[in-house]
C-alpha cells in the first residue's frame, strides 16, 4: 500500500509519517527540506525564487512517488498532489507569472499522466492533518528553522495565513484516492504518546475498512 500525508506547514506530517512508518514497518519518503538549496532563498526573496522552488519540489516529489509506486509499502510525508496549491498561491501573490503557471501546470499534468503507467496508479489513502492557524504557528516556532520564523520576517505571517486558508478547499476537492482527516488540534500526536496511539488506531481502522491490513 501507499499512504500519503497532507497538511499545511507545521501540521506534523513528518512526525506522523515517522511514527506510522515504524508502526507499519514500512519505508518513509520525506519532503526535501534540509538539503534544499532554494528554500532559504525563497523565504528571502519569493518573487525571484518561487518558480524555481516549486520546480525543485515537483522534481523531488515526482522521483519519490515513482519510487514509492514501485514498492509494496511506502509512506510519503508530502506528495505531488499538493504542490500546485503553493504554485497557485505564489501566482496570486505576484511571485510567478502566468507563463510560469502554465508551464508548471503542463509539466505537472505530464508527470501525473506518466504515473498512470506505473504498477500502482494512485495512493491507497491520503491522511490530512487538520490544524488551526495558531497550532500551525506553534509547530513552526517549535521546530526552529530560522528562515521560517515570523520574528525575523514579519511578512511570513500573511503568507502562512494564506497557506492555511487554501487547505480546506484543496482537501475537499481531492479525489485521487480515499482520504481521512486527523484533528491535529485535539490529538497532539507530536508531543503526547497517548494521542499518537489513538491516531495510529484510527489509521489502522481506516486501512482495515479499505482491506489493506487485517
Over residues 104-123, the mean pLDDT reads 85
Instruction: Please give the share of the chain, as a percent, with pLDDT higher than 90.
Output: 60
Q: Is the pLDDT of residue 63 over 70?
A: yes
- From the annotation, which residues make up the binding site? 7-15, 31, 43, 54, 78, 83, 139-143, 148, 187-189
Q: Pick out the residues of the known binding site for ATP.
A: 7-15, 139-143, 187-189
Maximum Cα–Cα distance for the chain, whole Å? 50
Every domain of the chain and the residues it spans: 2-210
Q: Give the per-residue pLDDT at 50.
A: 95
Q: How far apart are CA 66 and CA 21, in angstroms?
A: 18
Contact yes or no for 75/24 (Cβ under 8 A): yes
Per-residue model confidence (pLDDT) at position 43: 86
Binned at pLDDT 50, 70 and 90, residue 34 comes out as low
pLDDT value of position 201: 97
Distance between CA atoms of 87 and 149, rounded to whole angstroms?
21
Of 77, 155, 183, 211, the catalytic one is: 77
Bridge pairing between strands 27-29 and 2-6: unpaired
Q: Which CATH number applies to 2-210?
A: 3.40.50.300
- Stretch (H or E) spanning 5: strand 2-6
Whether the pLDDT of residue 33 is over 80: the answer is no
Non-local CB neighbours of 87 within 8 Å, separated by 6+ positions: 50, 51, 54, 96, 101, 104, 105
Annotated binding residues for substrate, written as ranges, equal 31, 43, 54, 78, 83, 148
Please report, rounded to a whole number, the percentage of residues in the chain having pLDDT higher than 70. Answer: 98
Distance between CA atoms of residues 102 and 86, nearest Å: 14
Q: 146 has which bridge partners?
A: none
Instruction: Give the pLDDT band of residue 83 (cuts 50, 70, 90).
Output: confident
Element (H, E) at 27: strand 27-29
Cell matching residue 162: 494564506
Q: Is 45 a catalytic residue?
A: no
Instruction: From 208, 206, 214, 213, select the one nearest 178 (Cα to Cα).
Output: 206
The pTM (predicted TM-score) of the whole model is 0.90
Is the model's pLDDT at 119 over the cut of 80? no
CA of 206: how far to CAs of 65, 86, 116, 168, 197, in Å? 22, 28, 25, 21, 14
Amino acid at each position: 500500500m501507499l499512504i500519503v500525508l497532507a497538511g499545511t506547514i507545521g501540521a506534523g506530517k513528518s512526525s506522523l509519517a515517522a511514527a506510522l512508518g515504524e508502526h507499519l514497518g514500512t519505508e518513509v519518503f520525506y519532503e526535501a527540506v534540509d538539503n534544499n538549496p532554494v528554500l532559504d532563498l525563497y523565504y528571502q526573496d519569493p518573487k525571484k525564487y518561487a518558480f524555481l522552488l516549486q520546480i525543485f519540489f515537483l522534481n523531488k516529489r515526482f522521483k519519490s512517488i515513482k519510487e514509492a509506486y514501485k514498492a509494496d509499502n511506502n509512506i510519503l510525508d508530502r506528495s505531488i498532489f499538493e504542490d500546485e496549491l503553493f504554485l497557485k498561491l505564489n501566482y496570486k501573490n505576484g511571485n510567478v507569472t502566468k507563463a510560469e503557471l502554465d508551464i508548471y501546470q503542463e509539466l505537472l499534468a505530464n508527470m501525473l499522466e506518466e504515473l498512470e503507467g506505473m504498477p500502482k496508479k494512485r495512493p491507497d489513502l491520503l491522511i490530512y492533518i487538520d490544524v488551526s492557524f495558531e497550532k500551525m504557528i506553534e509547530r513552526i516556532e517549535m521546530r526552529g528553522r530560522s528562515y521560517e520564523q515570523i520574528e525575523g520576517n514579519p511578512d511570513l505571517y500573511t503568507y502562512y495565513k494564506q497557506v492555511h486558508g487554501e487547505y480546506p478547499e484543496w482537501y475537499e476537492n481531492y479525489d485521487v484516492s480515499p482520504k481521512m482527516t486527523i484533528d491535529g488540534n485535539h490529538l497532539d500526536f507530536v508531543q503526547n504518546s497517548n494521542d499518537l496511539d489513538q491516531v495510529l488506531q484510527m489509521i489502522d481502522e481506516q486501512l482495515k475498512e479499505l482491506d489493506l491490513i487485517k
